């Protein structure tokens, strides 16, 4: 079918590349390009010998000219951006210059401000449309599958969705007192920011981790979860007609929260440069360097993730609720692709999203969030490629808990 240029060779890219190689009918040829070429070569060494032809390259994705040269040389049908959110715009610029489709799993965030939003990427809409190419934004799990779940719920079960709660539960245990499951810098920037949710057309801001709820997750059990701002809230608030409220909750264990708070209190999560022994260092980047590499957590993580969306709305004038979720087992993922479930649940949808564009199933020029496409073929592929989903038409709602459990509990 075609060729994909994959940028990045970290945790998520490793899974996506395994899956591209499994899906060799679509991915006949891939080029793995990243800052550290040895990581690309290691992945090639592991996966070579199948039907997909694999090449590797060194690229600094902050440099548009380098990217353009690489795209012109390899001539891919799509560029899969699995590097960091900081590289989104340079890669989009290179795609525009070469008229190549684009996809990513996280929205742009400037390196010097912990503020992510779609504004910068939505600004490319007209230029992508004119160039006749597609940019698929946010094709991981959340954002990604959560947007596909929302489009699917609206298409098949509701006339109008009024409330969405996205529940991201990681019931896994890696045995360390503190480690992050994906890039520590990105993860800590996300969870140490203020919480935010959307209600009746307005954004309501909370302190970090201010709102806590308990939930009993299928195949995982009872967990505490906290309201966070998450990027898909921004696009879903716009793309779901009639929506009254959308929130995002993520589970965290007490040990993770205690360590995070202590690190924050001593200034280790700051992105303000400081001078140390005559050298400028960014505390959060230093912290990243001493924390376990997320890729090393694979063999030691046990337990399951459960991520999904609970919808409440109307069908034929009647109230209706619907919960759709995926459960993923860390050890099963490790056995299959050598990574834990957090990378797996992101890498699989990245491959599927790219395949949707390459096969022409999703084919419209412009810049689109994932919920703007037909969800059906994507939902089918999730079942096929390792992320089967479960439906519950009578779910327990997030706020259906005793008042006591709903009280916000500040972590100091
Ligand atoms: P990693 O840190 O493991 O990998 C990032 C990769 O990008 C590394 O190979 C790194 O190279 C490479 N890279 C970084 N900067 C550059 C650059 N300037 N030029 C070329 N390559 C570069 O991150 P993850 O795999 O955990 O995450 C990848 C992406 O997925 C992130 O954007 C993250 O936000 C997103 N994500 C999305 C989720 C979702 O559900 N939507 C969930 C989890 C993650 P090097 O090896 O040299 O450092």
2-54 pLDDT, tens per residue?
A: 999 999 999 999 999 999 999 999 999 999 999 999 999 999 999 999 999 99
Give percent of the chain with pLDDT exceeding 90: 88
Give nearest CA residue, ligand 1 atom 1: 10
Indicate the top mutation candidate among 83, 235, 289, 308 to test ligand 1's pocket, ranked by most ligand atoms within 8 A of CB: 83
pLDDT at 400: 79
For residues 364-389, give the mean pLDDT: 98
Concatenate the DSSP letters of all residues of 277-344 into one string: TTEEE-HHHHHHHHSPPGGGGGGG-BSEEEEEEEEEEEETTEEEEEEEEEEEEHHHHHHHHSS-HHHH
Q: Cis bond leading into 211, ω under 30°?
A: no
359 Cα: distance to centroid of ligand 1 (angstroms): 25
Give nearest CA residue, ligand 1 atom 41: 140
For residues 293-314, give the mean pLDDT: 94
Ranges of beta strands (E only) in 88-243 are 101-104, 134-137, 160-170, 195-199, 202-206, 212-217, 221-227
Query: What does pLDDT average to over the chain?
Result: 94
pLDDT at 410: 40
What residue ranges line ligand 1, CB within 6 angstroms? 8-13, 34-36, 39, 59-62, 82-85, 87, 105-106, 140-144, 182-183, 186, 294, 346
Q: Which residues pair with 389 in a beta bridge?
A: 326
Say whether pLDDT at 406 is over 80: no
Say whether pLDDT at 411 is over 70: no
End-to-end CA separation in angstroms for the chain: 54
Among 208, 263, 202, 254, smallest CA distance to 408 is for: 208
Helix (H) or strand (E) holding 32, with range, is: strand 27-34
Predicted confidence band of residue 402 (pLDDT cuts 50, 70, 90):
low
pTM of the model as a whole: 0.94
Among 169, 122, 176, smallest CA distance to 298 is for: 176
Indicate the top mutation candidate among 9, 10, 289 to test ligand 1's pocket, ranked by most ligand atoms within 8 A of CB: 10
Residue scoring higher pLDDT (256 or 181): 256
Indicate the top mutation candidate among 8, 170, 343 to test ligand 1's pocket, ranked by most ligand atoms within 8 A of CB: 8
Predicted confidence band of residue 401 (pLDDT cuts 50, 70, 90):
low
Q: Which two tokens stand for residue 133?
A: 């190419």
Domain with CATH 3.40.50.720 in the chain: 2-140+340-384
Say whether pLDDT at 352 is over 60: yes
What are 316-346's pLDDT values in tens digits?
999 999 999 999 999 999 999 999 999 999 9
Give percent of the chain with pLDDT exceeding 70: 97
- CA-based angle 53:57:61, to the nearest 5? 125
Residue scoring higher pLDDT (250 or 295): 250
For residues 355-359, give the mean pLDDT: 98
Say whether pLDDT at 122 is over 80: yes
Residue scoring higher pLDDT (249 or 412): 249
Q: Is the distance from CB of 193 to CB of 209 less than 8 angstroms? A: no
pLDDT at 182: 83
Q: Which two tokens stand for residue 352?
A: 């599927």
CA 372 – CA 356 distance, rounded (Å): 13
400 Cα: distance to centroid of ligand 1 (angstroms): 37
Q: What does R_g of the chain's alpha carbons equal in angstroms?
A: 21
Domain with CATH 3.30.360.10 in the chain: 145-336+390-400
73 Cα: distance to centroid of ligand 1 (angstroms): 23
Lowest mean per-residue pLDDT among 99-103, 205-209, 361-365, 399-403: 399-403
Q: What is the CATH number of domain 2-140+340-384?
A: 3.40.50.720
pLDDT at 116: 80
Give nearest CA residue, ligand 1 atom 39: 140
What are 126-152's pLDDT values in tens digits?
999 999 999 999 999 999 999 999 999
86 Cα: distance to centroid of ligand 1 (angstroms): 9
Looking at the chain, the number of H-run helices and the number of E-run strands are 15, 18
pLDDT at 412: 39
Ligand 1 atom nearest 143 alpha carbon: 41
Say whether pLDDT at 249 is over 50: yes
pLDDT at 47: 97
Indicate the top mutation candidate among 94, 182, 343 to test ligand 1's pocket, ranked by most ligand atoms within 8 A of CB: 182
CA 302 – CA 176 distance, rounded (Å): 12
41 Cα: distance to centroid of ligand 1 (angstroms): 17
SS3 for 236?
helix
Predicted confidence band of residue 391 (pLDDT cuts 50, 70, 90):
very high
For residues 271-294, give the mean pLDDT: 94
149 Cα: distance to centroid of ligand 1 (angstroms): 24
SS3 for 203?
strand
Indicate the top mutation candidate among 7, 19, 33, 34 to test ligand 1's pocket, ranked by most ligand atoms within 8 A of CB: 34
Say whether pLDDT at 405 is over 60: no
188 Cα: distance to centroid of ligand 1 (angstroms): 14
**Architecture per CATH, 145-336+390-400:** 2-Layer Sandwich (3.30)
Residue 205, C-beta contacts closer than 8 angstroms, at least 6 positions apart: 194, 195, 196
How distant is the alpha carbon of residue 174 from its chain centre? 20
109 Cα: distance to centroid of ligand 1 (angstroms): 13
Say whether pLDDT at 408 is over 90: no
Ligand 1 atom nearest 350 alpha carbon: 41
Say whether pLDDT at 312 is over 80: yes
CA 251 – CA 221 distance, rounded (Å): 12
pLDDT at 378: 98
For residues 247-255, give the mean pLDDT: 94
CA 390 – CA 304 distance, rounded (Å): 15
Say whether pLDDT at 279 is over 80: yes
Say whether pLDDT at 172 is over 80: yes
């Amino acid at each position: 079918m075609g060729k994909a240029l994959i940028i990045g060779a970290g945790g998520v890219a490793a899974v996506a590349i395994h899956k591209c190689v499994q899906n060799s009918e679509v991915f006949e040829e891939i080029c793995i390009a990243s800052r550290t070429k040895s990581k690309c070569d290691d992945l090639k060494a592991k996966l070579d010998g199948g039907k997909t032809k694999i090449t590797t390259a060194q690229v600094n994705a902050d440099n548009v000219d380098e990217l353009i040269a690489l795209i012109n040389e390899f001539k891919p049908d799509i560029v899969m951006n699995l590097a960091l959110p900081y590289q989104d715009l340079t890669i989009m610029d290179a795609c525009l210059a070469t008229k190549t489709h684009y996809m990513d799993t996280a929205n742009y965030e400037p390196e010097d401000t912990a503020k992510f939003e779609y504004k910068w990427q939505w600004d490319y809409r007209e230029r992508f449309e004119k160039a006749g190419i597609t940019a698929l934004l946010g094709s991981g799990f959340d954002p990604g599958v959560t947007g596909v779940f929302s489009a699917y719920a609206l298409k098949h079960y509701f006339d109008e969705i009024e409330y969405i709660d996205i529940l991201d539960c990681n019931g896994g245990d890696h045995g360390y007192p503190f480690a992050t499951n994906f890039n520590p810098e990105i993860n800590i920037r996300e969870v140490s920011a203020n919480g935010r949710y959307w209600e009746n057309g307005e954004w309501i801001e909370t302190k970090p981790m201010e709102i806590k709820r308990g939930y009993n997750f299928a195949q995982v059990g009872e967990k505490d979860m906290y309201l966070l701002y998450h990027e898909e809230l921004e696009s879903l608030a716009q793309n779901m007609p009639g929506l009254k409220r959308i929130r995002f909750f993520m589970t965290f264990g007490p040990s993770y929260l205690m360590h995070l708070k202590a690190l924050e209190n001593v200034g280790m999560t700051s992105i303000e440069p400081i001078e140390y022994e005559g050298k400028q260092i960014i505390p959060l980047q230093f912290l990243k360097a001493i924390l376990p590499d997320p890729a090393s957590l694979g063999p030691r993580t046990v337990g399951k993730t459960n991520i999904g969306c609970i919808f409440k709305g109307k069908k034929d004038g009647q109230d209706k609720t619907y919960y759709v979720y995926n459960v993923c087992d860390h050890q099963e993922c490790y056995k299959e692709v050598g990574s834990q479930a957090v990378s797996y649940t992101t890498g699989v949808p990245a491959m599927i999203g790219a395949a949707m564009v390459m096969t022409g199933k999703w084919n419209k020029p412009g810049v689109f969030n994932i919920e703007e496409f037909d969800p059906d073929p994507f939902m089918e592929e999730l079942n096929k490629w390792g992320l089967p989903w479960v439906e519950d038409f009578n779910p327990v709602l997030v706020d259906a808990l005793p008042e006591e459990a709903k009280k916000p509990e500040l972590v100091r």
